[in-house]
Amino acid sequence: MTKKEVIVIGGGIIGSSVAYFLKEKGYWPILVDKDNFGKETSSACEGTVIMQSKQPGPKLELALKSRTLYQELSRKLVYDIEYREKGGLVLLENEQQAAIMKKTMLEQETFGLQVKLLTIHEARKLEPVLSKNLWGAIYSDADAQVNPIAVTRALLQDVVKDGGTILPHTKVEDLLVEQGNVCGIKTNRGEMRAAAVVNAAGIWSSSLTARYGYEPKIIPRRGQILVTEAFPPTVRHIMICACYLAAKHHPELLDPTKLQHKLGVGTVIEQTVHGQLLIGSTREFVGINKETTLAGIQEIARHVMKLMPGLKNINVIRSFSGLRPKTENGLPILGPVKELPGLFMATGHEGDGIALAPITGKILADQIAETGILS
């Protein structure tokens, strides 16, 4: 039996993961990217694999499965993906936030996510940089972090090692459609045919299919992030403030006149294996615009100072921003496209792409195998 080829469009962490799991299932993946791999959103984000930030429901379920896959990948891949199960804290500034989060905690527990409410005194024992003025925190040992650039490169290395093809600087101009079926792509390097095509082009993924009457709404949402100088391990957990979750799940609760909420600023902080802090982030709708703004990075700094005054002397060395592909209902688009047989979508993860990359790859590979394309 000759192996069937499957084209994956988009060489970010999602496309790389799809290619990896296709390869594991016995396909020959061909991964194409308009530039080099992992150069857009996948290298302009944080590396958090947080369970607590996922809305209890399908997303949390996917995230928990994805975490198990990350554990396997970090054992299996020869490249160090810097996966660390550090545990996470959701920081609560006041009683009102605590009340909202208590409800979420009960729901999270029904999905098997163990969480624990801590007083600020207890939380400060775990994380001395926290402000005494906070109300408390919620702890979970399930939260982890990875290095998204390393994950992308590790997956690609493994795909190539097992005979898959990766083609950088290959811009997809159109789909190849014959009798209503998608059977390949047209690129600046010519046509390529395959048994199936996976669209993992992130914020660019809806433009390809628009002319065939399928145009899912994917809106770029900008996240600005600060990088600090490297210093010895101090921030021991991945931390996220409750207002970040509020901005994500209950935007109606926020005061739109405040600059912080206008920019969607909520703190997410992690110390990488290399010692630098990544502090995020804004959540803004500004189209395809990757600038960082003074207002944005100052709001992030202000908010983190309120939560963690212990970090006041740490130097910021850079800011960067990435565009997250947001869908209308906030859930990723995964699976076959009814209007275009042969085409599969793996896009729209917004800010959860890193956490959900492994499970996305696995689901897509399973779905493609189920359609019997392999035989």
> What b/e string do you get for 74-108 counting C-beta neighbours within 10 Å, with b at 16 or more?
beebeeebbbbbbbbbbbbbeeebbebbeebbeeb
- Residue from 2, 179, 313, 329 that binds another protein (CB under 8 A)? 313
In 10 A of CB 257, how many CB atoms? Answer: 7
Provide the minimum distance between the beta carbon of 113 and another protein in the complex, in angstroms, as a whole number: 28
1 in contact with another protein (CB under 8 A) = no
Amino acid, res. 75: R
Q: How many residues appear in the chain?
A: 375
DSSP secondary structure letter of residue 56: T
Dmax (CA) of the chain: 66
154 in contact with another protein (CB under 8 A) = yes
Mark 85-124 with x for binding to another protein (rule: CB under 8 A) and - for no binding: ----------------------------------------
Provide the minimum distance between the beta carbon of 330 and another protein in the complex, in angstroms, as a whole number: 28
Provide the minimum distance between the beta carbon of 231 and another protein in the complex, in angstroms, as a whole number: 10
Nearest CA to 167 among 156, 175, 178, 177?
A: 156
Mark 37-76 with x for binding to another protein (rule: CB under 8 A) and - for no binding: -xx---x--------------------------------x
Give the interface segment with another protein, choosing from 101-109, 134-142, 317-325, 327-335 (CB under 8 A).
317-325
Nearest CA to 329 among 213, 249, 265?
A: 249
168 in contact with another protein (CB under 8 A) = yes
CA distance 230 to 318: 12
Q: Region of 265 please: left (phi>0), alpha (psi -120 to 50) or beta.
A: beta
Closest CB to another protein among residues 98, 301: 301
Secondary structure class of 26 (helix, strand, coil): coil
327 in contact with another protein (CB under 8 A) = no
Site residues (CB under 8 A) for another protein?
Answer: 36, 38-39, 43, 76, 78-80, 149, 153-154, 157, 160-163, 168, 226, 228-230, 259, 274, 276, 292-295, 297-298, 301-302, 304-305, 309, 311-320
